[in-house]
Amino acid sequence: MRRPVVVLLGPSREAISGVTTHLNGLLGSRLVARFDLVHFQVGSEGRREGFFGRLARLAASPFLLAATLVRTGAELLHINTSLNRKAYWRDLGYLVVAKLCGARVLYQVHGGQLDHFARGSGLFAVFLRASLGLADAVVVLSRAQLEAFRARLPGQAVEVVPNGIDCTPYTRYNRAAPDPAAPLRLIYIGRLAPAKGLLETIEALRLARARGVAARLVLAGSGPEEPRLRQYARDAALARDVAFVGPAYGAHKAQLLAQADVLVLASYGEGLPYSLLEAMAAGVVPIVTPVGAIPDVVSEGEHGVFVAPRDAEVVAAAISKLAEDRATLARMSAACRARIAAAYSLERVARDFSQLYWGLCAMRTPKAAT
């Protein structure tokens, strides 16, 4: 019996992004036993191309997608996107191509805030509502996103499917009991970008140490903010206490998390960061901002500590609190592991998408037969 074909549209599988992690998770999950999954790459990551080469690719890409949909007989196109103007206009073209080819469309939003994205021109808001109405289903990461989409897109099918991870690499290490005499081990894993609040994180470390708190910070990642962060650490006399270790993957990332106590993620905005799920699966307690889908995952005082964006003083207070109460830190660590294992596994994600895929593919079958 022929299996339904689902084309997954998204960035390179080698790119450094949460969407790439999501795609690789789906392509390596149990979904492949029930569906033929085909990856269609969009975006410039992993490509060696100049300006004119990029223009040529952008012009040809919708036609290449149409050819892929027709050649494979795909029932469904799964678009992975974010709410920014560049991604919206690009992916709108792919959505229209899929509908012209007779495929169903699942439109998954990984980042951005709908109210912020749609504000301004009333005409654009009307066009946005009409264009997203072409999708057969919209998938978001959080309850807050669900409410926003349902308010702006009445009648549209909208579902929440939070991200999930393979917990195995992060649970194979046994965590040692917290040592009150040891420095608190802080970590950040991800892109070194301005919106991640990393300047505030380093400043918070300086403030905490000035109050007598023994703590050190590991920054695992790369990005445009790195030179500025290195200079800031030197100026704050923290060159020995802030370690820049570069991007971390696989076993290296799992080992770094096994050697950390606290994840500091003082972002100004997020979707549902994989670094948070991975850290919690490893028993690393998060100090996080309550943005995006993070409040769906973390309960204040049970799994971690919430802090306001752009406020180094509040982050410093949270660091001090966890450094001084290692019993609470140990309790939160165990709660983090239990939380991710119960609700944010890759198996759950595969199960959720399997149900969505089957439903959407079944909706298409009568059309294909006429």
Is residue 311 domain-shared with residue 351, that is, in the same domain? no
- Whole-number pLDDT of residue 243: 98
Q: How many domains does the chain have?
A: 2
What confidence tens digit (pLDDT) does each residue in 119-178 have? 767 788 888 888 999 999 999 999 999 999 999 888 899 999 999 999 999 988 777 777
Is residue 175 domain-shared with residue 305, that is, in the same domain? yes
Give the number of other Cβ atoms within 10 Å of residue 175's Cβ: 18
- Name the token pair of 8: 């997954």
Is residue 29 domain-shared with residue 147, that is, in the same domain? yes
Taking CA atoms, 233 is separated from 174, 194, 229, 288, in Å, by: 32, 15, 6, 21
- Whole-number pLDDT of residue 46: 59
Residue 364 is part of a domain; what is its CATH number? 3.40.50.2000
- Whole-number pLDDT of residue 367: 43
Report d(CA 346, CA 22) in Å as an integer. Answer: 9
The percentage of residues in the chain with a pLDDT greater than 70, rounded to a whole number, is 96
- Please, are residues 128 and 167 in contact by the beta-carbon 8 Å criterion? no
What's the sign of the alpha-carbon dihedral 247, 252, 255, 257?
positive
- Name the token pair of 322: 């966890």
- Please, are residues 245 and 222 in contact by the beta-carbon 8 Å criterion? no
Tell me which residue of 162, 242, 261 sits closest to 203, measured CA to CA. 242
Give the number of other Cβ atoms within 10 Å of residue 159's Cβ: 16
Taking CA atoms, 71 is separated from 38, 63, 65, 95, 360, in Å, by: 11, 12, 10, 17, 20
Residue 311 clears pLDDT 70, i.e. is over it: yes
- Whole-number pLDDT of residue 47: 67
Does the global pTM surpass 0.85? yes
- Name the token pair of 124: 């654009």
What confidence tens digit (pLDDT) does each residue in 68-91 have? 999 999 999 999 999 888 899 999
Residue 257 clears pLDDT 70, i.e. is over it: yes
Question: Phi, psi at residue 216, to the nearest 5°?
Answer: -135, 155
Is residue 320 domain-shared with residue 177, that is, in the same domain? yes
- Whole-number pLDDT of residue 63: 95
Tell me which residue of 104, 101, 110 sits closest to 83, measured CA to CA. 110
Which of 187 and 292 is assigned the larger pLDDT? 187
Is residue 336 domain-shared with residue 351, that is, in the same domain? no
Determine the average pLDDT of the residues in 21-43: 95
Is residue 335 domain-shared with residue 349, that is, in the same domain? no
Which of 129 and 351 is assigned the larger pLDDT? 351
Mean of all residue pLDDT scores within the chain: 92
- Fill in the amino acid letter for 161: V
Residue 366 clears pLDDT 60, i.e. is over it: no
- Whole-number pLDDT of residue 370: 33
Is residue 268 domain-shared with residue 293, that is, in the same domain? yes
Is residue 181 domain-shared with residue 79, that is, in the same domain? no
Residue 365 clears pLDDT 70, i.e. is over it: no
Q: Which residue range forms the structural domain that includes residue 77? A: 5-164+345-369
Is residue 258 domain-shared with residue 242, that is, in the same domain? yes
- Name the token pair of 93: 């073209």
Is residue 182 domain-shared with residue 329, that is, in the same domain? yes
Is residue 122 domain-shared with residue 42, that is, in the same domain? yes
Taking CA atoms, 317 is separated from 7, 206, 235, 239, 322, in Å, by: 47, 11, 21, 21, 9
Is residue 270 domain-shared with residue 160, that is, in the same domain? no
